[in-house]
């Protein structure tokens, strides 16, 4: 009897990752070659969990749609979700929260790509035995997510685990001694 393959829904908070990369890591707007290779994220999740992915890329698009970026996302396998709202609405956060709430009633697995603590409650709700992951930058991840690892939340780093960048980022992080390579500093 064949079993239906589970799907992993990959929910990307692109604004959060872009803001963290630009403001906290680079200290400036990232150049195109410094941005994540988003296709590597889907490939990583498929390899890691051995099942198909459904990539949902949430975008705030209040006045105009960034068509070249949207077309690129479609070409690499994402479904762009452009959103608009009022001036004080965090439309990407609202949409991701609603999506996580809906996923709580389904059996699929979930990977959230964000460092934002606004999703802790919804991530906690989907930790019910399914696989749930969080991808972001370890040193900028909201610390409330760490407490969810005891319930099964798997944590991945965008650069070191996913290998989403072509160039090494100028990050300062704690290095486990077993991973220390002095050639990286010489």
Please tell me the predicted confidence (pLDDT) of residue 4: 61
Q: How far apart are CA 117 and CA 136, in angstroms?
A: 12
Q: Are 33 and 134 in contact (CB under 8 A)?
A: no
Q: What is the pLDDT of residue 1?
A: 45
Residues sharing a CB contact under 8 Å with residue 166, sequence separation 6 or more, in sequence order: 33, 37
Joined together, the tokens standing for residue 62 give 């209040």
For 143-159, what is each residue's pLDDT tens digit?
999 999 999 999 999 99
Q: What is the pTM of this model?
A: 0.91
φ/ψ (deg, to 5) at 79: -105, 105
- The number of C-alpha atoms within 13 Å of 146 and in the hemisphere containing its C-beta is 7
Distance, in Å, from the CA atom of 35 to the CA atom of 15, rounded to the nearest integer, reads 12
pLDDT at 177: 87
Q: What strands, in cross-sheet order, belong to the sheet with 109-113?
A: 78-83, 53-60, 8-13, 109-113, 132-136, 153-157
| Predicted local distance difference test score (pLDDT) of residue 45 | 97
Q: Strand ranges (DSSP E) for the chain? A: 8-13, 53-60, 78-83, 109-113, 132-136, 153-157
The pLDDT value recorded for residue 136 is 97
Report pLDDT for 71: 95
Q: Return the pLDDT at 3.
A: 56
Tell me the C-alpha distance between 111 and 139, whole Å: 18
**Domains plus CATH for the chain?**
8-184 (3.40.50.1010)
Could you report the average pLDDT of every consecutive run of 10 residues in the chain (186 residues)? 76 94 92 92 96 95 86 96 91 96 95 96 96 96 94 96 90 79 82
């Amino acid at each position: 009897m064949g079993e239906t393959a589970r799907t992993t829904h990959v929910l990307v908070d692109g604004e959060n990752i872009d803001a963290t990369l630009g403001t906290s890591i680079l200290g400036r707007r990232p150049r195109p070659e410094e941005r994540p290779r988003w296709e590597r994220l889907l490939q990583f999740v498929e390899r890691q969990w051995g099942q198909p992915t459904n990539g949902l890329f949430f975008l705030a698009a209040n006045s105009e749609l960034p068509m070249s970026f949207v077309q690129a996302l479609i070409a690499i396998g994402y479904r762009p979700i452009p959103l608009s709202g009022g001036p004080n609405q965090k439309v990407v956060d609202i949409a991701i929260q609603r999506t996580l709430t809906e996923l709580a009633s389904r059996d699929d697995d979930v990977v959230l790509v964000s460092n934002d603590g606004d999703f802790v409650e919804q991530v906690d709700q989907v930790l019910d035995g399914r696989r749930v992951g969080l991808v972001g930058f370890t040193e900028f991840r909201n610390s409330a997510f760490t407490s969810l690892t005891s319930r099964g939340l798997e944590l991945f780093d965008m650069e070191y685990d996913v290998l989403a960048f072509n160039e090494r980022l100028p990050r300062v992080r704690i290095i486990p001694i077993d991973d220390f390579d002095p050639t990286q500093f010489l």
